[in-house]
Amino acid sequence: MPTEFRYSALLLSTTLFLLLGAANAQAQDAAQQQEMTQVIQLYQGILKFPPPLWVEEVKDLGNSKPFRNQQKNLFSLEFIPKEQEFDSWKQLYGIYGFYLPDYDIKRFTQESINALALGCKAKPKITLASAENGSVILTYLCSDLIDPLVKDGDNTESGFLLISQVEQSFAKVYLAWRSKREYMKTDKWPMNKENITKAIEALKNIRYFPAEQ
């Protein structure tokens, strides 16, 4: 067999091996993400959502501390890393459901923003990050939290808020960090490029759809 032919065959087989390995790894990642995806009924809709950002593998699912509360027209399910406490959290992943027959998406969004602003001394900065797949994603930044919310010197709150509607029901997902103001524009600031990319990717995978289809 000519040397050139043996070299080409070896190169081709190596390339195919690498491509198949990459494809298999991607398939395994997709299967793992699917396994970690959660589904919950929120009134007239079904919410399909990924795990918190700090949960990257199935084995990490136990690394969260949950808090659940349900009333007649309000449901909340919040997660924080298990080493944190709810009265002094640094990272929060909240799932909320509402049944509000008299509301439209505009009113619900505005009141959701107003509720966040109650915890801020200064006017918070809110921008539209995305509006697609029936959901709105907003960025939120409070640079000066009210004193009762400041724990361990963490006087800022930043994050992403997703809002979606099914008939008279609303779903809200809030992904947030609390940190120190002096960390802004440093590598200690939690809402960095990496976390922003992960958060937007996670939120864009969230779906809220009718319970009866």
Asked if residue 23 has pLDDT above 60, the reply is no
Q: Using an 8 Å Cβ cutoff, are 70 and 41 in contact?
A: no
The mean pLDDT value for 24-45 works out to 69
> What pLDDT was estimated at residue 27?
40
Closest CA to 161 of 98, 95, 77: 95
The mean pLDDT value for 26-32 works out to 47
Q: Using an 8 Å Cβ cutoff, are 203 and 48 in contact?
A: no
> What pLDDT was estimated at residue 110?
96
Which is more confidently placed, 126 or 23? 126
CA 179, distance to chain mean position in Å, is 18
Closest CA to 130 of 78, 50, 190, 202: 202
Asked if residue 11 has pLDDT above 60, the reply is no
Instruction: Work out the mean pLDDT of the chain and round it to a whole number.
Output: 87
Q: What is the pLDDT of residues 87-105, one digit of tens each?
A: 999 999 999 999 999 999 9
> What pLDDT was estimated at residue 8?
56
Global pTM reads 0.83
The mean pLDDT value for 123-133 works out to 92
> What pLDDT was estimated at residue 4?
53
Q: What is the DSSP string of 7-56?
A: HHHHHHHHHHHHHHHHHHHHHHHHHHHHHH-EEEEETTEEEEEPPPTT--
> What pLDDT was estimated at residue 16?
53
